[in-house]
Amino acid sequence: MLRRERATLPWWLLGVTLLLLVQSTQSQNLYGTAEDLVNLRQTIGANTAVIAMSGPPQLLESIGGEIVFEIFAFLAIVVALMNMFLVGRQTRADEETGRAELLRSARVGRRAPLAAALALAGLADLTAGTLVFAVAAGTGLPLDGSVLLGAAVAAVGFTFAALTAVAAQIFENIRAVYGAVASVLGAAYALRAAGDTGNDVLSWLSPIGWGQRTYPYAGDRWWPLLVPLAATVLLAALAMVLLDRRDFGLGLIPSRPGRPVASRALGNPFGLAWRLQRGALIGWVAGLALLGAAYGSIGNTIEQYVADNPQIADLLPGGAQRIIDAYLGPHRERVGADRGRLRGHQRAAGARRRDIRPSRTCPRHRDQPPQLAGRTSQRRPDRHRPHAAGHRRRGRPRVRADDLRPR
């Protein structure tokens, strides 16, 4: 499993490292004095939209807490997605492709693939936590808070790895697994936002809120980490129990039978592409729309902050407009990266069905634009090529002189 993940896992870890490195250096350069932090608490800390996007305002008591306030939610999302894809590929996706059946033909236990996937996810989370600690401490933040920050990020990853393992036992295909875990991740972010801006109890229902409630650099509370650790143990045990209660290749929730007759919309590549990708497209469009609305609502707060701090505006030739552009620029890149992930998932999903679509009368180039799959190097099977398998253009067999000689 580690060999198969060697091409993707380092990029996830690099992303976590760079996110914290950029945020830590920029925040320490921008808020270098206690007066700057006081102005920040008065301007941004009182804004509901900023708190909903970032975290609890109690973190704004120190420069380290301000960094956690700005970046922890995004670190948690990246680590959660890393665990979702890692565990999903190594469990449910392997059953779909037949790789898990091949492995089980050897002398391995029934629980071995799931246990190995959880162990690999745990190792990746520990590595991510270690890198977070190294970056935080290396940029001058206190050691105690840096250790707690790394532990909180790893704890969020543990929870979502175990949650993905449970979802892999419930649903029959990997798309449903990813959809269920992504829905839980979105609900966790929403509950954390609602708890930070209103009832604090809601934040304790969110794995992201569990990590933020440790308050690194602003209290250093270790006991909230017991909640995600306990949830990880319970979810992992539940996944093992569900694994023993289901048949191989199936899920606890069976797939619904399809319609006896397909609709006319499925008679062309565009209709098939929409049918396969409509759930993901609607979800990504809705999520990006909400993200854009939240970023736009914060723009006015940043303009007011610059107006209250003329020394920052003096450093920028463009004044308030320049810092707004600087704030929205990285978020535009993040939205573009999310769009790239959507295109990658569509390409991976379409590759598994590309051999099926040419079985009917359909030009090969027509099924590419709807799926955003780009060019493919796959070749048609020999049965679609009249010159293969010893046939001429008219379909007559090619007979050689050697075939007529007696043997």
Residues 133 and 219 in one domain: yes
Residue 390 lies in a domain: no
Q: Which amino acid is at 45?
A: G
In this structure, the answer to whether residues 212 and 299 fall within a common structural domain is no
Instruction: Write down the pLDDT at residue 149.
Output: 93
In terms of domains, do 147 and 66 share one? yes
Q: Do residues 274 and 250 share a domain?
A: no
Give per-residue pLDDT as tens, 37-74. 777 777 776 677 778 888 888 888 888 888 898 889 99
Q: Are 172 and 250 in contact (CB under 8 A)?
A: yes
Q: Are residues 146 and 19 in the same domain?
A: yes
Task: Give domain status of residue 160, yes or no.
Answer: yes
DSSP state letter for 391? B
Give the domain range for residue 43. 1-254
260 in a structural domain = no
Same domain, yes or no, for 235 and 285?
Answer: no
Residue 56: the pLDDT is 86
**pLDDT tens digits for range 247-285:** 777 777 777 777 777 777 777 788 888 877 777 778 777
Last residue of a domain, one of 200, 223, 254: 254
The DSSP secondary structure of 296-307, one letter per residue, reads HHHHHHHHHHHH
Q: pLDDT confidence of 375, banded at 50, 70, 90? A: very low
- Contact between 211 and 153 under an 8 Å Cβ cutoff? The reply is yes
- For residue 369, tell me if it sits in a domain: no
Residues 306 and 223 in one domain: no
Residues 82 and 176 in one domain: yes
> Is residue 124 domain-shared with residue 20, that is, in the same domain?
yes
Please, which residues have CB within 8 angstroms of residue 326's CB and are 6 or more apart in sequence?
Answer: 316
Contact 278, 208 (CB under 8 A): no
Domain end call among 227, 254, 281 = 254
Looking at 98-142, list the stretches that DSSP marks H as alpha helix, in order from N- to C-terminal side: 99-104, 112-138
Helix ranges (H only) for 44-91 are 48-53, 63-90
pLDDT(7) > 80: yes
234 and 157 share a domain? yes
